[in-house]
Structures are given as C-alpha cells and as structure tokens.
Amino acid sequence: MVTDKKVRDEAFGSLRTYLGAQSEISELDLLKLWKGLFYCLWMQDKPALQQRLSRDLASLVSTLRDPVVMPFLRAFWLTIAREWSHIEALRLDKYLYLIRQYVNVSFQFLSRNNWKKEVVEEWNNVLEEVPLECKDMKIPNGLRYHVMDVFVDELEKVGGSEWEEKEERKQTLETLVQPVEKMAKEGKLKVLRVAAKECLADERLRAWRGQEDEAIDEPEEEDEEAEWGGIED
C-alpha cells in the first residue's frame, strides 16, 4: 500500500506540472481526465485519505492558468452530474466533500481575480449550465441541493467579514447570488425553489446584503409536474 500511495503521489505531481503548463485543454480531454479522477476517488478507502485526496483534487485549480480554470471547473461539474446516479450511499460522503471543496476553490479563484464582474459572470454561467440548472431533470437534484447547502458556508470562508464591511463587495455579492435567485424563481420543482429560498434566507447572507427585515415567505403554486409520479400502466 505504501508503494501504491507513493506511485499515486508521483503521478499526481506529474499531473499538476502538466496542467500548470497548459494554456488550453480541449473539452474532450478534460472530460476524460475528470472521469479518471472521479474513479480515483471512487477507489480510495478510509475517510481521512478520502478527504486528503479530495483536497488534493481541489488544489489542482490553483495550478491552472486562468484560461483553463473555467473549462476545468465545467468538466468537473459535468462529470459529477453524469456519474451521480452511480454513486452508492456508502461512497456519497466523499463526493459531497469533494463538491464542497470545489465550491470553495472556485470562490478562491474569483477572489484571486479580485471578484472581477466578467469572471464572476463566467462562473455563474457554469453554475447555471450544470449544478444550478433550473429546468433539466437530467441534472441530479441531490447535486443542486448540496451546492446550495454549502454555498454560503464556503463564501464566508473565502470572503469573511469583507462581505458586510466593504461597500464595493455589495455588487459582487448580488452578482454571485444570481444563480440561486434564478433557481428560487424558475426552478422546475417546488422543492428546488424552496431550497434556493432557504439558501437566500441564510442570516449571514442576508446581513451581507443589508437585508435587515425579516424574510417573507411567498405562496408557492403547485408544480406542473411532480418530481416522480410513479410508474404508469
């Protein structure tokens, strides 16, 4: 096992070096890479080692050149969405942790770019295409829920008190929450809209946005389609 770990660490180091040297990587190559990385985590036993591997996988983002970051993140989300239905209950926790790490490193990337509006909007486009897409039921709802569940936690870790203290961050914050706002209004299922509203109602987020008044629950219309109506005859 020691040898296996040594070989894996050496391979991971080579991967970091390779990725860091690329100014462009095709979508196909990124999807192939992510399928391999997904199953690398799949095979990893023991929670402590799983978490370490997840952090190592997330650290890849910091080695990338800026033009590669968004395509790399998009390939990550596409892979997670595609493989989600195959994740067994006993393996789910390590992927939930990996997703949390990727939300965090995405915010770190935006912070390193000083939260430039065009970069934040590009990140929003990735979110709205995959994990926070509102209508396509091929996107797993469990993925949607988890991203919204960790959204404020990871934003707080990266931005901290500056969200409330720095006036220039207010507009950045309003841009960042747009995918969640969109889900709250346009989510195909009521449960998705409710989850988005719960995210937006987080006391920390409301304080950062200067929403001191108490949140008011709006009446929900019934879904046109249930999430799953059973098997028809």
34 Cβ contact partners less than 8 Å away, ≥ 6 residues apart: 75, 76, 78, 79
pLDDT given for residue 147 in this prediction: 98
In tens digits, the chain (233 residues) has pLDDT values of: 444 777 778 888 999 999 999 999 999 999 999 999 999 999 999 999 999 999 999 999 999 999 999 999 999 999 999 999 999 999 999 999 999 999 999 999 999 999 999 999 999 999 999 999 999 999 999 999 999 999 999 999 998 888 988 888 899 999 999 999 999 999 999 999 999 999 999 999 999 999 876 554 555 555 554 444 333 43
pLDDT given for residue 145 in this prediction: 98
pLDDT given for residue 215 in this prediction: 53
pLDDT given for residue 230 in this prediction: 37
**Cα dist. 180→74, 81, 104, 133 in Å?**
18, 18, 16, 10
pLDDT given for residue 164 in this prediction: 85
pLDDT given for residue 61 in this prediction: 98
Q: At what angle do helices 89-112 and 117-129 cross, to 10 degrees?
A: 160
Query: What pTM did the predictor assign?
Result: 0.90
